[in-house]
Amino acid sequence: MSAGPAPHTPVTSDPSAGRTAFRRHPRAVLLLLAAGIALAALNLRTAITSVGPVLDEVTAGLGMSAVGAGALTTLPVLCFALFGGLTPVLARRLGEHHLLVYALTALTVGLAARAAAPEPWLFLALSAVALSGGAVGNVILPALVKQHFPERVGLMTTVYTTALALGTAIAAAATVPLEQSTGEWRVALGAYALFGVVAAVPWLLVLRHEPGRGDPSQALGFRQVLGTGLGWQSVLYFGTQSSIAYIMFGWYAQMLRDQGMDAQTAGLALSYLTVLGIPMSLVLPTILTRLRDQRPLVVAFAVFYLAGLAGLWLSPLSGVWVWTTLVGVGMGSFVFALTSFALRSRTGAGTAALSATSQSLGYLMGGAGPFLFGLLHETSGGWHAPLLLVAVLVAVNLSVGLLLGRPRYLEDVIAARGLSPGASPDGR
């Protein structure tokens, strides 16, 4: 499938490309855009992390089978891959602002309607509707940052990654108290639809400020991105860090419980691991955008990861808070993966193409991680073999990250290959 992003900004190797978007808007419009980006990001994970804490209540209330529950936990990865891949085509036809409004609408309607769904299949279908909105937002927000704030990429990436982390943590932490206070899991899940309504308001107000559509021939697609080494490096980096993150979020508490930790403390350790994403999102984007070469941070993430894994291997419980902190800092690789879409491209079109390709394929890789981790645990009867899998993923993540961290731009690589047919396709 060849999918190209919205060509509102021509594909060019001019370093100044896109700056006019920043200067064109009045200050009030820029403030609305900034608020819109933050509020949209807050919504991107609520459809996922709100279900887990009340999964037993949901499955019991709907009479959902184990197969249905398994499908529900797999659905986010499939939706992120499918709808993330379609986002550039939709953006080219509809415009980024209009598409984001439609995405927030789908997310809001899906969240509200699934809370009232009487049957398991309908709950799954409406969950897919909500997740489709989140998938589109995942891909399009980095492009909107690049398009409207080319001179403030670090600041605005901090805004949306922090909002993303906050939304993830809020939905994970608040769902059970909501369910307990109301006595109804449907109310607890449906409440997050209100976030989507609020997030849509700024985008409705700035619709008329959407940049005009450019020449469709300037769009970048999957084929161009995957024809470069830089594109594959981005895919593999995003995919390996997603695999590690999904493994940790899905198995960390169970691994600690299996070692003898009580359920409440294990859950607290997992919550702490999740919350660590907030300070990482606050600090890292600005640092990353100020560095011309991000390889030192790529190495640092891997070192923290491996140190935490070594602790979990040797003494999982006695130093659990230290190991959790080390792994949580290592998971700052997610922030670099998101920031790299803008860092490794010159234009909004390039950012959208790199984001769509990396996230659609990367989330598929990420979904395989927890399955393989669980399979190794079942076949080995312990946790060392699964932890070794994570260490291998960290090693691959480090290897491709050392290539991705070099200062290059997707548009330049593609232009060089087009002008010089014999040019090396590895992006060097």
pLDDT tens per residue, range 96-134: 999 999 999 999 999 999 999 999 999 999 999 999 999
Task: Please give the residue that has the higher pLDDT: either 73 or 340.
Answer: 340
Confirm if 176 and 112 have CB atoms less than 8 A apart.
no
Query: Burial, 47: exposed, middle or buried (Cβ in 10 Å; 0-12, 13-18, 19+)?
Result: buried
pTM for this entry: 0.81
pLDDT at 420 over 70: no
388 contact partners, CB below 8 Å, separation of at least 6: none
Could you report the per-residue pLDDT of 272-329, keeping only the tens digit for each? 998 898 899 999 999 999 999 999 999 999 999 999 999 999 999 999 999 999 999 9
pLDDT value at position 25? 66
Question: What values do phi and psi take at 315, rounded to 5?
Answer: -150, 75
Distance from first CA to last CA of the chain, Å, rounded? 25
- Homologous superfamily of 19-417: MFS general substrate transporter like domains (1.20.1250.20)
pLDDT at 15 over 70: no
Compute CA distances 342 → 90, 232, 318, whole Å. 20, 16, 41
Nearest of 171, 224, 255 to residue 353 by alpha carbon: 224
CB atoms within 10 A of CB 321: 11
pLDDT at 23 over 80: no
DSSP string of 279-313, one letter each residue: HHHHHHHHHHHH-S--HHHHHHHHHHHHHHHHHHH
Confidence category of residue 6, pLDDT binned at 50, 70, 90 = very low
pLDDT at 213 over 80: no
Q: Mean pLDDT, the chain, as a whole number?
A: 86
What six digits make up the tokens of 217?
């021939």
Q: Where are the domains of the chain?
A: 19-417
Confirm if 150 and 24 have CB atoms less than 8 A apart.
no
Confirm if 136 and 103 have CB atoms less than 8 A apart.
yes
> Which segment of 48-57, 155-164, 226-235, 312-321 scores lowest on mean pLDDT?
48-57
